[in-house]
Amino acid sequence: MKTMDFWCCMLFSLAMTLSSMAVESNVCYNSSFDSEKGNFDGWNINFDWTANSHQTGNHLNVSYLPEFKGKKNVLKMKVPAGYESKVETPLIPYKMGDRYKCTFDIFIEDVNLKILFQGYNLKPGIPPSDKPLMQDLRRSYKAENIDAAKGASWKTVTVEFPMLQVSETAATHLKKVRYITVLMYVPGATYGAGNFYVSNMKITKLPVPFTVKKEK
Q: What is the pLDDT of residues 64-121, one digit of tens each?
A: 999 999 999 999 999 999 899 999 999 999 999 999 999 999 999 999 999 999 999 9
The chain-wide mean pLDDT, for the chain, equals 90
Predicted confidence band of residue 189 (pLDDT cuts 50, 70, 90): low
Q: Could you give all domains of the chain from N- to C-terminal order, each with its CATH number?
A: 2-213 (2.60.120.260)
User: How far, in Å, CA of 107 to CA of 73, rounded?
Assistant: 13
Q: What is the pLDDT of residue 130?
A: 85
Q: What is the mean pLDDT of residues 132-153?
A: 94
34 vs 191: CA distance, rounded Å:
31
Cα–Cα distance measured from residue 75 to residue 62, given in angstroms and rounded to the nearest whole number: 7
